[in-house]
Structure 1
């Protein structure tokens, strides 16, 4: 077996291997993965909300009337109201989070400028609380401070990545698009088929969509798929059953 320890051509490969994070082969460790997974989960949940909300609405209306125009009007109104509500709510929520993160970073920046030694002691203590020995924690704190003091304190003390702050507009658009995409399925399923097939097509389409959403959400969270799928499907069926019963009751009583 040849020894390439003195081979200059092998040096770049050794450096490249050393720079790779430890872990299982193929397991992603790059920064931002958690953020992207959170956005994916939010998109899946938004689509799931769109499916269940509009399915319940149009099925409830279908229990009261066979009018295609009434179904379309109710479905479109629900779609727009739901998607805009989701977008506005997400924008306000994430904006509040962003304001809090920026305020915390501003305070940390000021403390680093006015009391750097106290901040270094604080960072050392935080690292020591994580199970690192006192001497090693001090050494690590000093190296992190020399490299990026604000970034070190933000990550260790605040749990914030200064380079990946939340974006309210991204959150709003993601919620709007995902809810709209999910809502279109039950709306088209209740409007396009012939009268006698509307409910059956809608229920089957919604169940398929909910199964897919449950599987994807479980897959993104590395959780068992079966419980997530069952919860999703049962919740959707209950929503449609309740609204259909209410619509039928209102129609029967002439309200």
Structure 2
């Protein structure tokens, strides 16, 4: 009898998708807002690009550091729970069998079948069974701080490069319109791609990201214009 192929599920994307989407969205939005703010304050193209490049580098490093610290804290908590579970297995094996069986009873199995399932799973991998079914920790959802940090930094840099390229090549007289329009398009595409990768509806994802992006850029450009007028 041939083995069935392993199904792919959207939850397997959560680890990298969250960091990548967050990084790219922040890269586009923060850099575009920074560029628009400086341009609205009557900055030259050179000052706009210097501010944008500085924002790209600082933002990518900040995203990497923040994501690493955050996800590493999650990984530390998961590891602490696993070590505690390992100690409990060593101290009270029978009690851990009963605890796992009770979990399966709560999910709908009758007690005899639940006990049989718990016994077989613990004979195969006791710690893995408790980590998965008692703690909710699985390989696909484990916290991976280094992966998250690199994903965030790289995606932020890619996202930030988009409005920067537009600012570099757009006519200076139309720089604000060009950057804002292109950035909203990039945000809409990012929202649609993220929704599709996560198995969600594409249109609401694109609209949600575009709306908040337009609001953020509008406020930043308004502050820049006000600052440029006052100063």
Tell me if both proteins adopt one fold, taking TM over 0.5 as the criterion. yes
Higher relative contact order (CA 8 A, sep 6+): 2
The alignment partner of 1:166 has SS state of coil
Deviation at 1:188, TM superposition (A): 1.8
Q: Equivalents in 1 of 2:181, 2:151: separation in Å?
A: 26
The residue aligned with 2:229 is: 252
The residue aligned with 2:8 is: 28
The residue aligned with 1:195 is: 172
Query: Which of residues 9, 13, 24 is equivalent to 1:47?
Result: 24
Residues 1:97 and 1:239: Cα distance change in structure 2 (over 3 Å): same
Q: Equivalents in 1 of 2:5, 2:226: separation in Å?
A: 64
Q: TM-score scaled by structure 1? A: 0.85
Deviation at 1:194, TM superposition (A): 2.2
Query: Do the aligned partners of 1:66 and 1:195 also contact (CA within 8 Å) in 2?
Result: no
The residue aligned with 1:238 is: 215
The Cα RMSD (Å) is: 1.8
More displaced stretch, 36-45 vs 206-215: 36-45
The residue aligned with 1:24 is: none
The residue aligned with 1:38 is: 15
Q: Equivalents in 1 of 2:43, 2:90: separation in Å?
A: 69
Q: Equivalents in 2 of 1:164, 1:236: separation in Å?
A: 29
The residue aligned with 1:59 is: 36
Count of aligned residue pairs for this structure pair: 231
The residue aligned with 2:75 is: 98
Q: TM-score scaled by structure 2? A: 0.93
Query: Do the aligned partners of 2:15 and 2:144 also contact (CA within 8 Å) in 1?
Result: no
The residue aligned with 1:172 is: 149
Deviation readout 1:14-51 (Å, 9 max, x if unpaired): 242xx557xxxxx525xxx6343431232122101110
Residues 1:114 and 1:163: Cα distance change in structure 2 (over 3 Å): farther
Give 5+ residue unaligned stretches, structure 1: 1-13, 22-26
Query: Do the aligned partners of 1:215 and 1:228 also contact (CA within 8 Å) in 2?
Result: yes
Query: Do the aligned partners of 1:41 and 1:220 also contact (CA within 8 Å) in 2?
Result: no
Higher CA-based Rg: 1
Give 5+ residue unaligned stretches, structure 2: none
The alignment partner of 1:158 has SS state of coil
Residues 1:216 and 1:80: Cα distance change in structure 2 (over 3 Å): same
Q: Equivalents in 1 of 2:176, 2:26: separation in Å?
A: 19
The residue aligned with 1:5 is: none
